[in-house]
Every structure is written in structure tokens, then in C-alpha cells.
Amino acid sequence: MTYYILGAVVLAIILYFVITYVRVGKALTTLTQEEFIQGYRKAQLIDIREPKDFDAGHILGARNIPFTQFTQRYREIRPDKPIYLYDQNTSRTGRAALFLKKKGCTEIYQLRGGFKQWTGKIKTK
């Protein structure tokens, strides 16, 4: 009996991750650094890391809207313009994209590998 319960729990966890992966894949498009560079100047470039990480270094032209503040500040993002998101390593961009999609945003992109893979220009405070 215990094995059935354990198996059901493991199956439920696997199913949750598969469904989330599919939902995130539909909510945003992952771009290489070159593709990201081609489009982010005509879009809203949003760094969703915390302010201390943003101040330590961010992509030139990015705005800081930390993921922890998304529910309060998402209205600062225009749903009618492309949105280019990045964080340190793409761990939060999927959740941010799902949230923004629920709020009516349709063109959402993320930087493959996140900021830690970025080799372009940066700005520090």
C-alpha cells in the first residue's frame, strides 16, 4: 500500500513538471544572445533579479522589476510591446512569463542561459 502511495506522489510530481514545462514553452520563446541583441532595443528589457544583483551589473538599457515584486509592479510593463526577460540563469523567467501571459502579454522572450551567460555590454552602479 505504501508503494502505491509513493508511486502516485512521484507520478504527480513528474506530471506537474511536465505540464509546467509545456506551459512555459507556450508562454515564452528562448533566444540566443545574438537573437536577444537583435531585438531587445525595440522591446521592453526587464531584469527580474533582485536590486543588489541588478546594481552589481546588468544589460545596458535594462529596467529592474524583481520577480519578488511582480504582482505589485507588472502594470509597468506594456502588454502591447515585446518583452525581453532575463534573470541570473533563467530559473524565474518561466514563472514571470506565465504570470505576464495571464495578464495579457503575448510576445515574451528570455535570454538563453540568463545573465551569467551574457558576454555583451553591461552597466554597473
The reply to whether 14 falls in a domain is: yes
| pLDDT, position 10 | 83
Cα 74–76–80 angle (5° rounding)? 90
pLDDT one-digit tens code per residue, 26-80: 779 899 999 999 998 899 999 999 999 999 999 999 999 999 999 999 999 999 9
Torsion of CA 38, 44, 50, 52, to 10 degrees: 70
| pLDDT, position 23 | 66
| pLDDT, position 79 | 94
Q: Give the range of the structural domain holding residue 99, as residue numbers without chain letter.
A: 2-119
Query: pTM for this one?
Result: 0.82
Provide the domain count of the chain.
1
Q: Which residues contact 63 (CB under 8 A, 6 or more apart)?
A: 44, 45, 46, 47, 76
The reply to whether 125 falls in a domain is: no
> Can you tell me the distance from the alpha carbon of 98 to that of 117, in angstroms, rounded to the nearest whole number?
23
The reply to whether 124 falls in a domain is: no
